[in-house]
Amino acid sequence: MIDLFSGLDAWVLVSLLLALAFVLTFEFINGFHDTANAVATVIYTKAMPPHLAVFFSGVFNF
């Protein structure tokens, strides 16, 4: 696997690492919004108590 990246210029490798960092940051932030929307729906419809909804959201989104 290391051989795959041995022929790359330094700027290409830095660009790939920056792109990966941006993608991971976006997904992390997007996950917060998805979780909040899912929990809000469950709590608003009273399908589950708030503490249980937050607990299950944390378990299943991890």
Please give the pLDDT value at position 31.
Answer: 77
Residue closest to 39 by CA, chosen among 59, 54, 61: 54
Q: What is the pTM of this model?
A: 0.54
Can you tell me the distance from the alpha carbon of 27 to that of 22, in angstroms, rounded to the nearest whole number?
9
Q: Between the CA atoms of 31, 37, 43 and 49, what dihedral angle is there, to the nearest 10 degrees? A: 0
What digits encode the pLDDT tens for the residues 12-56?
889 999 999 999 999 888 877 778 888 999 999 999 999 999 999
- Cβ-contact 48, 56 below 8 angstroms: yes
